[in-house]
Amino acid sequence: MRWLSLMEKLRAPLMILPAVATIILLFFGGLLVGLGQSLGYFPAIDSYDLTLQYYAEVLSDNIFFESLWQTFRLALLSTVMSSVLAIALALVLRQTFKGSRFFTFMFQLSIPIPHLVAAAGIVLLVSQSGILARGAYALGLIDAPRDFPVMVFDRPGTAIQLTYLWKEVPFIGVVVLAVLQGIGPQYEEVARTLGANSWQRFRFVLLPLIMPGVLSTSIIVFAYVFASYEIPLLLGVRHPTTLPVLAFQNYQDPDLSLRPQAMAMSIILTLIAIVLLVAYKRLANYAVSR
Amino acid sequence: MNKILRWLVLAIIVITALAPILPQFVWSFSHRWLFPSLLPSQWSTEPWEYVFTATSRVGEGFFNSLAIAVVVSLLSILVGLPASRALALHNFRGKSAIEWLLMVPIIVPGIVATMGIHQVFIRLGLTDTFIGVCLVHLIPCIPYMVLVMSSVFANYGTELEDTARTLGAGTFSVWRFVTLPGILPGLLVATMFTFLISWGQYITTVLIGGGTIITLPMVLFPFISGTNYPNAAAISLVFVAPAILVLIFTSRQLGRESSVMGGFGRL
Amino acid sequence: MFSFRRMALILMVLSMVVLGSAVAQDSADELLGPVPGYETWADVLAAAQGTTVNWHMWGGSDKINSDVDNDIGARVQELYGITLNRVPLVDTADVVNKILDESAAGVETGTVDLIWINGENFRTLKDAELLFGPWAEAIPNARYVDWSDPALAFDFGTPVEGYESPWGHAQFVMEFNTDLVGEEPPKTFEALAEWAAANPGLFTYPAIPDFTGSVFVRHVFFWAAGGPESFLGEFDQAVFDQYAPIVWDYLNGLEPNLWRAGETYPEASVLTDLLANQEVAFNMGYGPGNAASNIREGIYPESVRTFVFDTGTISNNNFVTIPYNAPNPAGAMIVANFMLGEEFQLKMTDPAAWGWLSPIPPSVYSEEFQTTVAAYERHPATLSADDLAAAALPEPPAAWVTAMEQGWIENVLQK
């Protein structure tokens, strides 16, 4: 009998163990090794003494800060624009109308499409010799590719943001849509009878209800863009590039002594991401509860 | 007025959804397509012929990507499903800490972990291996599996299971005939996420696969960065096809089943 | 004499029995010197029979990919029973890194057999003693290679010493669109700056660390110093500091007139696309035949031509090397040997096939080889071998290259 109750007690921990063990071993294990190297514990180059030297080197470098700003800017803009657009489109799509299933499918279309393919598609569309530029030429709006606005390999990273918008709007939108459809019309009906106009109905009825979903998905999107590598590498300027690109460049440099710097850079990136996201969650919760 | 606006928005949705994809069909059949031509001046099936040669390694990449994504999805289910059920239906000390722990890989940038894992895997002999690549893909997949499935289990009553058990159903029968049908729509969506996350991985595969394990994104990347757009487009379409198939299977759940995607609100 | 021939015949028959008839034609080949782990070339052939060679090489050109598979892969399969597994890379530094990591982790048997490598990466691996060999002077077809030629004895100043084997020759050329530039391109750096000032936005060069951008900047250094001589010895900070400011001034002066006003610099492959779509008027690269092959492939407009600067252009050689922990060094040596042979060199220099230059003068091969090569028809976008040879300049040692690249990043890109 005691055996059985022990089993019952251990049941939940045992069910959780495989997932937790996998994440701890792989993710936190990897994190720990990276942390060790960033502090100078790197047996491969006979370095065992712990030091903050690599952090000092990274933090004394302007390039690091320029890349950090670029990374932050891209992540922030992509997240804000995706969230706003996603909410707007979800509000349109939640109504049931003829063909709404087709349109919902079209809206979801980019969710499964790999980021690399999206990047290729965006380049073919918006580069200075892309489809849009050719259209503009055919309409007589431009005379040569260089007259077309620069969107690929530009400092603001327009094509990078377009790629993320195209990918992430439906991701956030689908979650918002799921929440909206779960709500049903009653709340709004009540608000309407109480004399709320459509903005008030949105602001005080719908928004608080969809906010948790928007919050979580926008955190995921922010974190994803903050850590992204291949899109800025393919579509961005060489300098300033994003921190993950910079870190991987240092990591993959045949000069192994740059490794600890790459690790230090990524650890700082990780810390900043955590601080930003916790602050964001606090701030958003505060704003919604007001 | 409202109706016109709605149709305008819907038209924009359809156009923007297709704009980056449809031109790739045209590119994949082009031989010569320079500015300012609106259509290729020379058409060709060469990019598609190239895709189907052994040289392009598209076939090899496709089957590797597929095998890895399937294995990773199965591992995610194996590891994530019990955890999701425990988190949703049991109460125990440290539960919220565990919830956070399992979400960390999607919130915290994975580059340090990936580089650290690379160092460890070299020593363990897991670099350049299929299983090594699967393990590193597993990291971002488990959180999504847990996120979606714990929400599904939270909305799923266990009464039916209890009833079945009192009626004498064995553990397996309960699972097979009661639990599984109940969670299947959610499981489909969660598996779609894990499949697609693995399917789209690039830098982790490059690092851990070491060039020995070739996946589709690795075949595609050089053509995009090399601006060989006809070949890039053809390979892109091969890369997209299974993803769209997956969406067709899960679109309805994604769109209508609020408890499935609603899980994201609980992060 | 008679008995020797009989002996040879018996040996040949024996080797045919042992190795299969396909390999027999090479039984006359012999190692020209010692190679670690193998006594004779027949040992090498026997060890490689039925094996796979993993060749890590840059994979961004479908033409090179298919050419390698068809003209090297398929042939070594037929001749030696070797399966060539081409591993595509985005950057060769990745595989160098992999070898470094494996050595740090004590991995005795790796996965890389052969690497198409450049001078800087070769130096990294050689300095770290992570290469197999020496072997390159000992493989049978090394007899064609003139190792006294400094361009073959040194790779970016690093002594080759048998640790890598040459196969192709490269020389930097400028490509330009006659529709935008006219028939007479600016052939000096002064004229180039003037042209760019008069036609802003139509010229640029790839960003370092891209090797094409790097070699362009080396040319500016050579121009600033009045020739390559100052940069061919050991790295000298004083000499570097003397000329570097002139180079940064020139390039920063050029910047506002570049494509995108120098806000960013493209990747080499993107620059190719820019020239193709007439977004810029110039491109550049190490392949004198690239413009012609891009025109044939439909990538470039017909109006593209090439030129070299009056002050000359840098040439170097393509090498392959074998890492210390290669699982199949025998197979790798056979592939490298095949690439120096008459059959492949004929294919490689054919303008209609590879369209590359050879590190080996045709005169060392057979009469038949020489007549075929002499009869090749040159595309109007390709300069003659004589013009190119007359303009050829050497590469500086890798230490100079590193300093120039780092200097450019700090003084031009990030300024």
Domain presence at residue A45: no
Domain presence at residue A190: yes
Domain presence at residue A120: yes
| DSSP assignment of C390-411 | HHEEPPPPHHHHHHHHHHHIII
Which DSSP letter does residue A144 get?
Answer: S
Burial (Cβ within 10 Å: 0-12, 13-18, ≥19) of residue C374? exposed
- A62 reaches C (C-beta below 8 A): yes
Helix (H, G, I), strand (E, B) or coil at C62: helix
Q: Indicate if A108 and A231 belong to the same structural domain.
A: yes
In tens, the pLDDT along A116-145 reads 999 999 999 999 999 999 999 999 999 988
- Decide if A108 and B24 are in contact by the 8 Å CB cutoff: no
pTM of the predicted structure, to 2 decimals: 0.90
Q: Indicate if A120 and A166 belong to the same structural domain.
A: yes
**What is the tally of structural domains in chain A?**
2
The upper half-sphere exposure of residue B240, i.e. CA atoms within 13 Å in the direction of its Cβ, equals: 23
ipTM of the complex: 0.92
Beta bridge partner(s), residue C117? C319
Unique residue bearing structure tokens 């990030």: C414
Q: Which two tokens stand for residue C78?
A: 């037929």
Q: Indicate if A229 and A177 belong to the same structural domain.
A: yes
Domain presence at residue A33: yes
Q: Decide: C383 and C288 in contact? Cβ < 8 Å.
A: yes
Helix (H, G, I), strand (E, B) or coil at C18: helix
Chosen for mutation from C95, C101, C179, C325 (greatest number of chain B CBs closer than 10 Å) is C101
Name all chains with 3 or more CB-CB pairs below 8 Å to chain B.
A, C
For residue A3, what are the domain limits?
1-38
- A47 reaches C (C-beta below 8 A): no
The nearest alpha carbon in chain A to C414 belongs to A239
- Decide if A129 and C97 are in contact by the 8 Å CB cutoff: no
Per-residue pLDDT of chain C (415 residues; tens, 9 = 90+): 445 555 555 555 555 444 444 444 444 689 999 999 999 999 999 999 999 999 999 877 778 888 999 999 999 999 999 999 999 888 888 899 999 989 988 889 999 999 999 888 999 999 999 999 999 999 999 999 999 998 999 999 899 999 999 999 999 999 999 999 999 999 999 999 999 999 999 999 998 878 899 999 999 999 999 999 999 999 999 999 999 999 999 999 999 999 989 988 988 888 998 999 889 999 999 999 999 999 988 889 999 999 999 999 999 999 999 999 999 999 999 999 999 999 999 999 999 889 899 999 999 999 999 999 999 999 999 999 889 999 999 999 988 998 999 999 989 988 7
- C239 reaches B (C-beta below 8 A): no
Q: Indicate if A29 and A95 belong to the same structural domain.
A: no
Binned at pLDDT 50, 70 and 90, residue B257 comes out as: low
In tens, the pLDDT along B206-223 reads 999 988 999 999 999 988
Q: Which CATH class is domain B57-266?
A: mainly alpha
Residue C170's closest CA among C289, C345, C90, C341? C289
Alpha carbons C415 and C411: distance in angstroms, whole number: 5
B143 upstream amide cis, omega within 30 of 0: no
Alpha carbons C63 and B208: distance in angstroms, whole number: 28
Q: Which amino acid, residue A288?
A: V
Domain presence at residue A6: yes
Q: Measure in Å the smallest separation between the Cα of C133 and chain A Cα atoms.
A: 21
Domain presence at residue A47: no
Chosen for mutation from A153, A233, A250 (greatest number of chain C CBs closer than 10 Å) is A153
Chain C residues in contact with B215 by the CB 8 A cut-off are none
Q: What per-residue string of b and e applies to C177-215 under the rule 16 or more CB within 10 Å gives b?
A: bbebbeeebbeebeebbebbeeeebbbbbbbbbbbbbbb
Q: Cβ atoms within 10 A of the Cβ of C144, count?
A: 17
Domains of chain C by range and CATH?
25-167+317-377 (3.40.190.10), 173-307+389-413 (3.40.190.10)
Q: Decide: C321 and C117 in contact? Cβ < 8 Å.
A: yes
Q: Indicate if A192 and A267 belong to the same structural domain.
A: yes
- Decide if C264 and A155 are in contact by the 8 Å CB cutoff: yes
Residue A136's closest CA among C299, C271, A127, C177? A127
